[in-house]
Structure 1
Amino acid sequence: MPILEQARPILAKEGIDLKIRRFQDYILPNTALASGDIEANYFQHVPYLRSVLKDHADDKSYTFVSAGAIHIEPIGIYSKKYKSLKDLPKNGRIIMRDAQAEEGRILAIFEREGVIKLKPGVNKVDARIADVVENPRSLKFLANVEGPLLPQMFNNGEGDAVVINANYAIDAGLNPTKDPIAVESGENNPYANIITVQKRDLNKPEIKALVSALHSREVQDFIRRKYKGAVIPVSQ
């Protein structure tokens, strides 16, 4: 990942050799962390982490915590047929990634645009498709596609709209700030990508140094220059 590559020389000055492994799915990074093959991973947000920990509640190797939030990748809704969510047709098909932890994030965009309403009092982060109580267009939310396939489905004109995470959009040559018909807000966004570690490693000097490097002005300026709003740095 280019962001981690930017942190490498900063860490080298402190005598830390950052080794980077790239994974092709959302399962293996946590499996590798649980087994001790890696000391940290950098791909998930807190709501996703919570769902993983819930699924592995009886597994003592899954004592994961966040060491710090690094950046936000605002999720976008793309369509080759319509210019806004309010233009979507009756019984329109919305193709989504097969991840429950993303459902509330996506539905919040549709509610913000006045297309649906969620159950009163439901926490947006925890919302699920079943929590939609008003849906005048009878939109069909189809959360059954693997993330990397979403840009291909969009390019093939499948569905009436396709929800694509910024990382997949960028890899497919899409512009996550200009191409979507709707984009989630970056303000007060709980979906920042985090450095995840085992709880016992949280205070290790090399983990603290990694987070500090990723929060440095050099790395954050790089994120702003390279991604031009498609990826937003955070410092917390």
Structure 2
Amino acid sequence: MRKLVIPAAALALALGLTACGSGSDSGGSGGGEDALVVGATAVPAGEVLTYIKDNLAEKAGLNLEIKEFTDYVLPNTALQEGTLDANLYQNQPFLDEFNKSKGTNLVPVVKAYLPPMGVYAKKIGDISELADGATVAVPNETTNEGRALKLLAAEGLITLEDGAGANASPADITANPRHLTFKELEPAQLPRSLDDVDAAVINNNYAQDAGLSPTEDAILLESAKDNPYANLLAVKKGDEDDPRVEKLAKLLVSSDVKKFIEDKYKGSVLPVTSG
């Protein structure tokens, strides 16, 4: 069984300050001086970009090269350093926190889709079955952890201190009626933790990478209503008007991409049709 809730206040899709990973070419044959090199996590960003590359880019006059990453830090580092021209995998709170903590100057171009965060478990089928004293794994990243805790707070499992923002941590919990214990793990490790914990709050891309369906397997899932955490196309400040970037931005919110997202993900990822 699955329950939808509206996320409370500012949540953030993720900030990997300590995660490690590597980039690899994926779906990219464009190359050359005119290629727009875009970094992305594999799911759903890489799949959306691959659809655009294979079906829409040539007609739009866009030479697209995709580089996939396995963490949340390197795509922004590479973008700042100029190895990438753009990236697609993060939301606005994530981007804001990254710029603040790393001294980067990355900016959003357009929102593309919403990947809702969810709570997953192997031992129970509904969030109401979470036992007293249960262990819940959460992301160990600043904004990701805050988003996870706010999802639990929206369900009434915990209460957070008034004013706890996107960077909320277990220290901000003022009431914990079920005496939950929180285990902080790197986001990519969360799906593998399900055998060892009672539940885990997992980012959408890592859930899908692990074969989990947010709409079918999550016992608690963010609602799209009033949810500000759509993933966005980002570039280094000053590159917003690059014609190649403008072409990709237009394709990301096109009716073709909207239909692809709806058909492929069936509610596990939600399209955004305007920036």
Q: Same fold (TM over 0.5)?
A: yes
Question: In the alignment, what sits opposite 2:92?
Answer: 46
> Is the counterpart of residue 127 in structure 1 residue 180 in structure 2?
no
1:213 to 245, 248, 251: 251
Are the counterparts in 2 of residues 45 and 194 from structure 1 also a CA contact under 8 Å? yes
SS of aligned partner of 2:107:
strand
Question: In the alignment, what sits opposite 1:204?
Answer: 242
Deviation at 1:82, TM superposition (A): 2.4
2:182 to 141, 147, 153: 141
> Is the counterpart of residue 72 in structure 1 residue 118 in structure 2?
no
Deviation at 1:205, TM superposition (A): 1.6
SS of aligned partner of 2:51:
helix
2:193 to 153, 161, 173: 153
SS of aligned partner of 2:113:
strand
Distance 1:10 1:180 in 2: 33
TM-score (norm 2): 0.78
With 171-180 and 218-227 compared, the bigger mean Cα shift is at 171-180
Distance 1:86 1:173 in 2: 24
Question: In the alignment, what sits opposite 1:4?
Answer: 49
Q: Which amino acid aligns with 2:152?
A: F
Question: In the alignment, what sits opposite 1:232?
Answer: 270
Q: Using CA pairs below 8 Å that are at least 6 residues apart, which structure has the higher relative contact order?
A: 1
- Taking only the aligned residue pairs, the percentage that are identical comes to 39
With 10-19 and 177-186 compared, the bigger mean Cα shift is at 10-19
Question: In the alignment, what sits opposite 2:14?
Answer: none
Are the counterparts in 2 of residues 166 and 176 from structure 1 also a CA contact under 8 Å? yes
Unaligned runs of 5+ in 1: none
Distance 1:29 1:206 in 2: 18
1:168 to 186, 206, 219: 206
Deviation at 1:97, TM superposition (A): 1.9
Q: Which amino acid aligns with 1:104?
A: G
Deviation track 1:65-108 (CA, whole Å, cap 9, x = no partner) reads: 11111111111111122233332222211111221111222122
Question: In the alignment, what sits opposite 1:108?
Answer: 150
Paired positions, count: 228
TM-score (norm 1): 0.91
